[in-house]
Amino acid sequence: MQVWGVTRSGRGDSSLAEKIVPAKDLLAVLPEADYVVIATPETNETKHLIGAKEIAKMKRGARLLNLGRGSLLDEMALIGALESGELAGAALDVTSIEPLPPHSPLWKAPNLFIAPHTSGVSERLWERQTTMLLELMELWFSGSEMTNVVDLARGY
């Protein structure tokens, strides 16, 4: 599998992806993807990042996974693409409304897997979170510069 990344700047860890392009080139790289994984934070720029226009650029038969935030994906456009066969399948770990109401049309969409917002869970989750918390507490109480600080201008 070839892994390509799309970042705001077009920069990133090249050990994690063979190619990294800036977000302004998203429409240009979508036709190359068999799988599109959405794993970005919610900001003003990323709301409905993937909608009808973006799905139409994807290969017929591609698959779409949203692991980021429900607001990143136009769910009605997704349902239409699944019903028409434009997309072969999709998986959602997040939805625009959580918990997903019983009357949501997503429940009846073909070839859609819905997970209960658990993609971040792993065997080491609590260990990693505890280690991070303890490191941050040490930095805080020593007056050192904090890591993982939210940039309010960027929104994450």
In this predicted structure, what is the pLDDT of residue 153? 86
Asked about 8 being catalytic, the answer comes back as: no
Digit-coded pLDDT (tens) for 24-65: 999 999 999 999 999 999 998 999 999 999 999 999 999 999
* Distances from the Cα of 54 to the Cα of 4, 74, 87, angstroms: 16, 10, 12
The catalytic residue among 54, 69, 75, 86 is: 69
Digit-coded pLDDT (tens) for 55-65: 999 999 999 99
The catalytic residue among 8, 42, 48, 117 is: 117
The catalytic residue among 18, 32, 45, 98 is: 98
Higher pLDDT, 18 or 148: 18
Digit-coded pLDDT (tens) for 79-128: 999 999 999 999 999 999 999 999 999 999 999 999 999 988 999 999 99
What number is the average pLDDT over the span 143-147?
95
Is the model's pLDDT at 155 over the cut of 90? no
* Distances from the Cα of 57 to the Cα of 60, 99, 127, 132, angstroms: 9, 30, 40, 39
C-alpha–C-alpha distance, residues 142 and 156, integer Å:
25
Asked about 69 being catalytic, the answer comes back as: yes
> Does the CA dihedral 10-34-72-91 come out positive or negative?
negative
Digit-coded pLDDT (tens) for 1-14: 999 999 999 999 99
At 143, phi and psi to the nearest 5? 80, 15
In this predicted structure, what is the pLDDT of residue 156? 82
